[in-house]
Amino acid sequence: MKKLFVALLVLVAAASFVFAGGAKEGAASGSGTIKVGIVNNPPSESGYRAANVKDFENTFNAANGYDVKTYYSLKNDEQLNAASQFITDGVDYLLISAAATDGWEATLKSAKDNGIQVFLFDRLMNVPEDLYEAAIVSDMPKEGETAVAWLKAQNLPEYNVIHIQGAMGSDAQLGRTGAMDKEFAAGTMNKVVQQTATWDEAEAKKIVESVINSGEDFNVIYAENDGMAKGAVAALDEAGITHGKDGKVIVMGFDCNKWALEEVLNGNWNYDGQCSPFQATQIDEWIKTGSRPSTKIVYNPERYFDAATITAEEVEQFGI
């Protein structure tokens, strides 16, 4: 029993060390600085999150006149505690990317009562709109629609699509699958296979391998993130199937990892859709200028990159 207890203690300690990273004290809290509390998911969550965290670090720092406290956790209750702590600490603004959508109402109310303005980024939550100033998020369904529209514009004689999905039920999967499902239902595109690889690169490769082994014909790979697209391409390479700009199979990915954009630049892939992790500048503007958007929820403008038009500068600028 004692051993169990010790183990749990170590576990808790390790977990809080890794996930929390502790609330970091910002620069000297002079009277001229703006006090900001940021509650986010830890950068280790994903490549996307790493870029997101970096973006916020680059914008919200002492050099830009901010006194920043940050708290990272994948757990909603830990995030809630941190937010309450920030409210007690008397921050001016609270920036939140929630781990889960529920349970935030009371905390946001208390923030409002204390005159603290709340901005949501990346993720929305189930609360009345008046509890926060504004939210900036990615429009996942739109990402899917943009991609599918681009694909349609290629005017292929026929569309035989391998659709590799992310972890079922995640926002990104639901959004990016939606547009493709419409095409399948309408019969404008032919579903060769639609299977989840749960964001796993190696699994995506196995899925494509199995289609190749079955001998079925296909000319589009629509992968819901870059990693899975890369896995799929590995399978194509091994089977001697050409892909990319001058190849037989069109390869599409999402997220705009730098290496993925390089693949597009090199013509190995055809398309990469952005899922922008860059929300800090917009929030910075809202805080500094005092302006507020006309609707509470703002979608981050997102673009896509086409092998035919992409430039090396864009790779540098938009690669995460």
Q: Which two tokens stand for residue 237?
A: 């390479």
Is the distance from CB of 300 to CB of 142 less than 8 angstroms?
no
Q: Is residue 57 a contact residue for another protein (CB under 8 A)?
A: no
237 binds another protein (CB under 8 A): yes
* One-letter amino acid for residue 106 of the chain: A
Q: Can you tell me the distance from the alpha carbon of 60 to that of 20, in angstroms, rounded to the nearest whole number?
A: 19
Q: How far apart are CA 230 and CA 268, in angstroms?
A: 10
Among positions 209, 267, 299, 318, the unique one binding another protein when judged by CB under 8 A: 209
Pick one of 11, 149, 185, 312: the residue that binds another protein (CB under 8 A): 11
Kindly indicate which of the ranges 89-97, 100-108, 227-235, 303-311 contains the residues binding another protein, using the contact rule CB under 8 A: 227-235
The yes or no reply on residue 138 touching another protein (CB under 8 A) is: no
Rounded to a whole number of angstroms, the minimum distance from the CB of residue 79 to another protein is 16
27 touching another protein, by CB under 8 A: no
**Interacting span for another protein (CB under 8 A) from 50-58, 117-125, 132-140, 182-190:** 50-58
Q: Is 212 in the site for another protein (CB under 8 A)?
A: yes
- Are the C-beta atoms of residues 150 and 313 closer than 8 Å to each other? no
Q: Please tell me whether residue 19 binds another protein under the rule CB under 8 A.
A: yes
Out of 23, 33, 43, 112, which residue is the one contacting another protein (CB under 8 A)? Answer: 43
Among 35, 40, 41, 48, which residue interacts with another protein (rule: CB under 8 A)? 48
Which listed residue (78, 226, 284, 302) binds another protein by CB under 8 A?
226
Stretch that binds another protein, among 12-20, 88-96, 103-111, 137-145 (CB under 8 A): 12-20
Got the DSSP string for 58-85?
A: HHSSGGGTEEEEEEE-S-HHHHHHHHHH
Candidates 33, 34, 44, 178: give the one binding another protein (CB under 8 A).
Answer: 44
Q: Which of 34, 62, 124, 193 forms a contact with another protein (CB under 8 A)? A: 193
| Other CB atoms within 10 Å distance of the CB of residue 75 | 15
With b for 16 or more beta-carbon neighbours within 10 A and e for fewer, the 141-157 pattern comes to: ebbbbbbbebbeeeeee
Residue 47 binds another protein, judged by CB under 8 A? yes
| Whole-angstrom distance, CA of residue 313 vs CA of residue 318 | 9
Tell which one of 258, 267, 314, 318 touches another protein (CB under 8 A).
Answer: 258
Q: Which of 242, 281, 295, 311 binds another protein (CB under 8 A)?
A: 242
Q: Does 7 bind another protein (CB under 8 A)?
A: yes
Window contacting another protein (CB under 8 A); options: 89-97, 181-189, 228-236, 308-316: 228-236
